[in-house]
Structure 1
Amino acid sequence: MAQQNIENIEGNAEGVVEDNVEATVGEGNVETAQTVNPLHGRKVLSFVRRSARLDARLQRAMDNHAARYVLGDIAEEGRLDPAEGFRFTGDYVRDHWGSAAPLTVEIGSGQGENVVAAAVAHPERNFLALEVYEPGVAHTVLLAAKHGLENLRIAQINAPELFAVMEPGVVDEVWTFFPDPWPKMRHHKRRIVQPELAADVRDALGEGGVWRIATDIEDYALHVHEVMDARTDFENGGGLTVSLPTAHVGKGNAAEAQALPHADFMESPRFDGRVLTNFERKGLDAGRVIHDFTYRRV
């Protein structure tokens, strides 16, 4: 299995879909999952960590601007979990952003188009981009430097691990746009939206804080409803009625979805704060429906 070019994957929030998540091949070397996943063996991961070389342009961006934009003190060196004793607090935000403005955290910033566009449009807000893949981090750095942004920071870290060490109320909004769908049934447990993360996101959000989610995969939309709608610590702010199958399908039997029993669910109009990336446009061109969710902390 050839190593995929992560730089060309847009909108992929947590990783790439693997036929075999136990091993990857890159640059002629076979790497075990334990080698490429610093968190391997500790929990089910929503991504497969791969080593990737930066091209000259991205390497220059990191050399020239990483110190300004990348939060190097969050994660253990060479790992994707928080450094021992680290706590993400309001004081940390003020120290590293220079203000206590409302903070939006994007889980899986991909190439950075969305979070950079938002930071440009809203200089009165702070933004944090979380991305596990170095090419995505580098491309976000490149775009941030191009716009001379002062209100954006980037962390290469596993999002659930970071949310677990966040101070209550430190975040105003959380965005998870087009996460890896993990379409095979046996991989559904790897989807990033899980009850454990939902509990930590809720604690990190301030009063009235919002978790915005979007997917172009119908089965993932059902998964989000199953995880989120029954929670008493979030309310579904959707105003659109959407019909979805009431049973899950996987990569091999997705064609059966239309024949399954359906039920109505509440979703949201498209979030106008999300730019239309090439990734989302390709989904629309392929005839897929975009599902938007707005869950507000209660």
Structure 2
Amino acid sequence: MNESHTASPDWQMTEGTMPGTAGPGRRRELMSFVRRSSRLDKRLQKAWDAYAGTYLLELPQYDHRELSVATDFHFDREYAHSVWGNDNPLIVEIGTGQGENIVAAAQKRPDVNYLALEVYRPGVAHALLKAGKYELSNLRVCEVNAPDLMRAAEDGLFEEVWTFFPDPWPKTKHHKRRIVQSTLADEVHRALKTGGSWRIATDIEDYALHVHEVMDQRNDFDNVGDLTVSLPTEHVSKGTADMAAQLPHADFTESRRFEGRVLTNFEKKGIEAGRVIHDFTYRAV
């Protein structure tokens, strides 16, 4: 997910039954991540032991399956109030990586509540460590599959949803595993308040085209960007990315860089490698 363009597989989530779709003959949707090792080094284990009790949000699981959310659990306003102790606006980050962005945001905006979603345990531990270091009362971290959490969310609960630098799944056969999909967009729209925003960023040109294909034709989101960007109108794969410049191009609308996103080392490396950062702001209507 966030800031993880490569993965070292420990085990892979595969097709099968899924909360909300379980039953004979039903298939679970493809997962947008490869589950990596959950082992923590001594420093991160120490951080987990010290801060998980305060900052880790543990949700009831479906049939004891890791990263799932029980189908009878409702992430509603009452539950949010019990967690944060107030009714402040709530912003959710899908794929928080090591927590740089959401921790910086929580420091800057103590009047806003933040929820970091991450599937990789070392990333969760890093976010817990940062939250504890700065003693943030408005941040919680959840080790969960984001679509499961979105399905459990009450209508209109979230102020914003962020998805920054998701795994691009560069091979053509894997494009269907990309986290930005119409099914997730349905759930994000339902969970966002009217006028709330889904902010997305990627440094992969082909993923930018994918986002436009998924989002721009929807009538429940407005693309509120004001930049014109030229992109290939055909997809490339991991082995054919160098051919993108030769393909037909068209103009698309994107956003200026979101000021609320800090410049992480990951993003710096992308810029230094010559990749263009694509920002999107889709407003729920």
Runs of 4+ deviating beyond 3 Å: 15-18, 31-34, 74-78
**Correspondence for 1:82:** 69
Q: Sequence identity, in percent?
A: 59
**Correspondence for 1:50:** 36
Partner residue of 1:151 out of 120, 138, 146 = 138
Gaps of 5+ in 2: 20-26
Q: Which amino acid aligns with 2:213?
A: E
Give 1:162 shift: 1.1
TM-score by length of 1: 0.88
Instruction: Return 255-264 or 47-56, whichever deviates more.
Output: 47-56
Partner residue of 2:6 out of 2, 13, 16 = 16
Partner residue of 1:67 out of 27, 32, 53 = 53
TM-score by length of 2: 0.92
Counterpart of 2:250 in 1: which secondary structure? strand
1:1-298 to structure 2, matched below 5 A, reads 11-12=3-4, 16-17=6-7, 24=9, 31=11, 42-76=28-62, 77-298=64-285
Give 1:165 shift: 1.6
Q: Determine the C-alpha separation between the residues in 1 that align with 2:244 and 2:71.
A: 45
**Correspondence for 1:6:** none
Q: Determine the C-alpha separation between the residues in 2 that align with 1:232 and 1:221.
A: 19
Q: Determine the C-alpha separation between the residues in 1 that align with 2:157 and 2:274.
A: 38
Instruction: Return 201-210 or 44-53, whichever deviates more.
Output: 44-53
Gaps of 5+ in 1: 1-8, 19-23
**Correspondence for 2:24:** none
Q: Determine the C-alpha separation between the residues in 1 that align with 2:87 and 2:60.
A: 18
Aligned length: 276
- Asked whether the equivalents of residues 17 and 182 of structure 1 are also in contact (C-alpha less than 8 Å), the reply is no
- Asked whether the equivalents of residues 161 and 199 of structure 2 are also in contact (C-alpha less than 8 Å), the reply is yes
Q: Determine the C-alpha separation between the residues in 2 that align with 1:161 and 1:72.
A: 13
Q: Determine the C-alpha separation between the residues in 2 that align with 1:140 and 1:224.
A: 27
Counterpart of 1:80 in 2: which secondary structure? coil
User: Structure 1 residues 282 and 10 mapped into 2: Cα distance closer, same or farther (>3 Å)?
Assistant: farther
Give 1:50 shift: 2.1
Query: What is the RMSD of the two structures over their aligned residues, measured on CA atoms?
Result: 2.0
